[in-house]
Amino acid sequence: MTSSSPIAAQTPWDELEIPKELQAFVDVGLISAADLTVVAVLTIGQPCSPAVRLALALALAAPQDGHVGVSLAKVAGRAYVDRPGLDLAGLQKLPWPESVAWLEEIQQYCLVADTTSEPLRPFVLVGDLLLTRRYWRYQERLAAELRERMAGPAAWLPLDDAELPNIEADLSALFGPRPAQGADLARLAAAVVARRSLSVISGGPGTGKTFTIRKVLALVYRHVQRAQGRAPVVQLAAPTGKAAARMAEAIAEGLADPAFSPQERAWLATLKPQTVHRLLGFDPRHPSQFQHHRLNPLVADVVVVDEASMVDLALMTKLVEAVAQSSRLILLGDRQQLASVQAGSVLADLSDVLQGRGTRLPQESLDMLAPLCPAEDLEPFADPSAPLRAGCVVQFTEPRRFGRHTPLGRLAMALAVGDVPAALEQLRADGPSDVQGAVTWVPAAADAELGSAVWQIILAGYAPYLQALRQGPQLGESVQAHHLRVIGMFDEFRVLCPHRHGPLGAQELGLAIAQALRPGREAGLGRPLPATLWAGAPVLVMENRYDVGRMNGDIGIALGQDGQDRVAFADATSGQVGYLAASRLPPWELALAMTVHKSQGSQFRHTLLILPDRPSPLLTRSLIYTAVTRARERLTVVGDRHVLELAIHRVQQRASSLAEML
């Protein structure tokens, strides 16, 4: 249940008498009158103290901020939200209840159950985590499915003894000779996929996840061809349309690999990634239900989900339940990235078993993988103390794209392992700007303004795509090819912001950039233009709309003036351009400045990260890492050194009990 409940909508909020003990929490924006209204309706006939009302309201509001519930022992003095008007200074002065007494009072309240109590109680308390029964059930269902796939009868897919030498030979052919130094993690990950019902391959951008998954799919192709004389049925998915498009591009980039046969190349080229919602069969009439579920599972030998860190708890539960136990489920992602926008941090909860030590293989995994992998690839990861579920997680750490010895590679590695001094060393005002993997630091200007040097970077970054659009098609170039080229050029550069709101937030900064780019306008953070379309305006779709074929996260380029023309979108699965009348656009925003959250699943040649002018609880190491790893070749960071240091020291924590349930 959330504050958008129909019950709340029918209740006259202005008639609700807010207890004076809670007025301060409402005033700073931590809870709302709507949250308290729902609590008031739920507690009719069951009187409760202001402290209990506060706890219940926080539990109701938690999923809006990405948390499964509220940790009563940790919530005081902290905020995890990006809301207009949130009073950060006021958060430090709130009259929080004493945590031990507060927890005892919640435990005894009649509407709060422990996990074994009366199922009709609307709230559940697990340790110090208070959550609605709906989210507790999501955790319970997902944990049950994952436990079976990790350590139960379905954890190890049956393979005939005669087939093991064939798979070992396929691995050698696909991955070639072992590296001169270190273990072959890519081959190890493929071997894990060959044997397990669930595999988790985690690593930052450019560490080899897509390289590995191409080889894995070829391995599955060979195995199914031998066993059943047919090509395998493979479903590829990602949380957003943009992430699915990037997945398609990444797979297509490696099809020329000489390790693949012509038949394998042709088959791999037929695989078309889609959004998770489309994969499961989204029905707009029933937004919380899907066509595929436990009783009607997906028809697939293998289901691969990229950018799994972006998949929230509710969606991951429905996805895992829809994958048949006889199918392989492969989750790709980066546990260091920001968690999903919605509630939950499933990939991080799954990967917490690594305990910062990288891949850990329990003895059972070593025994099952021994016929497929050289001992040299297994020994570095042998860990008798590791729980059984650790054997399904492989952690990639080597940045192949820009190399661990470039400034960008060193920065990403330092952030991933939490080496704060090394990370800060890479962010210097005199850092290189003309080398591969360059990292440049630009000190903040005064009064939340961007200096002229930053505006020059922004205008130079976006000028090429606008110039190409205005020049029109090149000689012999079709209109569609021209628009596809323009969209690709726009994706070469992007401005990222940690916050959505505020003077340096994505919304206001995006309008200011539009003001600077449109003809006859000057750069500056003055009065923003209205968010109307103009020729060249980049459009970021904010909702899934299956009736017009556009998904949340899709980016297109407006081709006409003031909403009178079409918007062009690139379709990665077909390599074509799709057009949509501006009048039929789903809710959208300008994509000239994006939140770091919205940028997940994307890569830009040059990324410009603009930090807010003051510290914020939302500024965490995961957010900085996510922004850094959006850059393929060059990163520029603008901001105050103190703000950055605090962000790198702050570790993102999502309130969840999934890891404990596993």
Task: Identify the DSSP state of 179.
Answer: P
Q: Return the structure tokens found at 464.
A: 């090429």
- What pLDDT score was predicted for residue 287? 65
DSSP string, 224-291: HHHHHSS---EEEEESSHHHHHHHHHHHHHTTT-TTS-HHHHHHHHT---EEHHHHHTB-TTSTT-BS
Q: Return the structure tokens found at 18.
A: 């807010």
- What pLDDT score was predicted for residue 606? 92
- Rounded-to-integer distance, Cα 387 and Cα 349, Å: 14
Q: Return the structure tokens found at 515.
A: 């003001």
The neighbouring-strand residues paired with 131 are 124
SS3 category, 47: coil
**What is the number of alpha carbons within 13 Å of residue 471 lying toward its C-beta?**
13
Can you say whether residue 226 is alpha, beta or left, with left for phi > 0 and alpha for psi between -120 and 50 degrees?
alpha
Query: Which of 46, 49, 92, 83 lies closest to 65 in space, CA to CA?
Result: 83
Query: Which of 173, 212, 178 lies closest to 376 in space, CA to CA?
Result: 178
- Contact criterion met (CB below 8 Å) for 554 and 541: yes
- Strands laid side by side in the 112-113 sheet: 70-71, 129-132, 123-126, 112-113
SS3 category, 491: coil
- Contact criterion met (CB below 8 Å) for 361 and 332: no
Which residue, chain included where needed, has tokens 């509220």? 70
- Rounded-to-integer distance, Cα 572 and Cα 576, Å: 7
DSSP string, 274-314: EEHHHHHTB-TTSTT-BS-BTTB----SEEEESSGGG--HH
- Rounded-to-integer distance, Cα 211 and Cα 573, Å: 18
- Rounded-to-integer distance, Cα 197 and Cα 656, Å: 25
Type and span of the H or E element at 516: helix 506-517
- What pLDDT score was predicted for residue 5? 40
Query: Which of 366, 353, 398 lies closest to 203 in space, CA to CA?
Result: 398
pTM of the model: 0.79
- Contact criterion met (CB below 8 Å) for 604 and 630: yes
DSSP string, 132-199: EHHHHHHHHHHHHHHHHHHHSTTSB----TTTHHHHHHHHHHHH-SPPSSS--HHHHHHHHHHHBSEE
Low-confidence ranges of the chain (pLDDT < 70): 1-16, 76-89, 116-118, 152-158, 180-182, 284, 286-287, 338-341, 344, 352-357, 399-405, 428-437, 446-448, 519-532, 560-564, 572-575, 652-657, 659-662
Amino acid occupying residue 405: H
Distance of CA 322 to the CA centre of its chain: 21
CB burial of 563-574 (b: ≥16 within 10 Å; e: otherwise) equals eeebbbbbebbe
Q: For the chain, what is the radius of gyration of the CA atoms?
A: 25
Which distant-in-sequence residues (6+ apart) come within 8 Å of 206 by Cβ? Answer: 399, 400, 401, 402, 629, 632
Q: How far apart are the first and last CA of the chain?
A: 24
Q: Return the structure tokens found at 182.
A: 């270190």
Digit-coded pLDDT (tens) for 37-64: 888 888 887 888 888 888 898 888 888 7
The neighbouring-strand residues paired with 571 are 576
Label each residue of 391-451 as H, E or C: HHEEECCCCCCCCCCCHHHHHHHHHHHCCHHHHHHHCCCCCCCCCCCEEEEEECCCCCCCC
Type and span of the H or E element at 659: helix 658-661
Query: Which of 197, 193, 243 lies closest to 221 in space, CA to CA?
Result: 193
Query: Which of 409, 17, 471, 430 lies closest to 204 in space, CA to CA?
Result: 409
Task: Identify the DSSP state of 330.
Answer: E
Which distant-in-sequence residues (6+ apart) come within 8 Å of 378 by Cβ? Answer: 183, 188, 361, 366, 369, 370
- Rounded-to-integer distance, Cα 625 and Cα 412, Å: 6
Task: Identify the DSSP state of 528.
Answer: P
- What pLDDT score was predicted for residue 347? 76
- Rounded-to-integer distance, Cα 342 and Cα 382, Å: 36
Type and span of the H or E element at 495: strand 493-497
SS3 category, 486: helix
- Strands laid side by side in the 438-443 sheet: 438-443, 631-639, 604-610, 493-497, 593-595
